[in-house]
Amino acid sequence: MQSGLILLVHQEHSLNKKEYQHCKEENKMPANMKEHSFIKGLKSRCLHLLHQNKTTTESSRQEAVNSESRKLTLNPSREEVLKWADSLDNLLAHKYGLIAFKSFLKSEYNDENIEFWLACEEYKKIKSPAKQASKAKKIFANFVEPMSPKEINLDYYTKEAITQNLQHPTYTCFEAAQKKIYSLMENNGYNRFLQSDIYQNVLNNSHDHHQT
């Protein structure tokens, strides 16, 4: 009788273990699998969105480059285009030269320097102190502030000087920084531009006589 009771208890214990294992498999495992599936799906969606954003950005930038290039259909004279190679000043001072240079820098994903330089040129023409202060803050936020959208390569002391100048902005607020960026463009992007297909194409398609 006692041995029979022990056997029943043992059988019940075995059944409880099986039921526990069954519950674990039915409840816990699917939950883990569902969690794994959810994380996997989330990663997949994130990768898709990143790829989609990258594709959109690439497409937008290429469209901007193409748009700038289309503006060059009204070709300057050959004499003017040849003068672009004399100095960066000549290039930036010429309407189509500036368009061509910007187009080239965009194609290299390196257009923040020319954008900053142009913003400084516009800034120096502002007469109203209120508008000048507003423009100075925008330039700082877009190009100078760490992690800004188009942060330019400036040393600590130049950035610090701009920060101090912003308290009482004048037309010389960005003068030192603009000179440094001009020098960077002159020693890097400008030389590459003169060797680029963009410059060579404009030169080859330019007219022998000055267009009016």
CA angle 15, 19, 21 (to 5 degrees): 115
First to last CA, the chain: 120
Q: Round to whole Å and give the CA distance between 165 and 178.
A: 14
What is the Cα–Cα distance from 67 to 46, expressed in whole angstroms?
Answer: 31
Same structural domain for residues 126 and 192? Answer: yes
Q: Could you say which of 73, 105, 132 is where a domain stops? A: 73
CB 120 within 8 A of CB 162: no
Over 80: is that where the pLDDT of 48 sits?
no
Whether residue 57 is found in the same domain as residue 83: no
Residue 211 lies in a domain: no
210 in a domain, yes or no?
no
Domain that holds residue 107: 75-205
- Do 143 and 188 lie in one domain? The reply is yes
| C-alpha–C-alpha distance, residues 55 and 51, integer Å | 6
Render pLDDT for 182-209 as a digit per residue (tens, 0 to 9): 999 999 999 999 999 999 999 998 877 5
Number of domains in the chain: 2
Instruction: Return the SS3 of 207.
Output: strand
Percent of the chain's residues with pLDDT above 90: 58
Q: Are residues 143 and 60 in the same domain?
A: no
pLDDT of residue 210: 45
- Confidence grade of residue 27 (pLDDT, cut at 50, 70, 90): very low
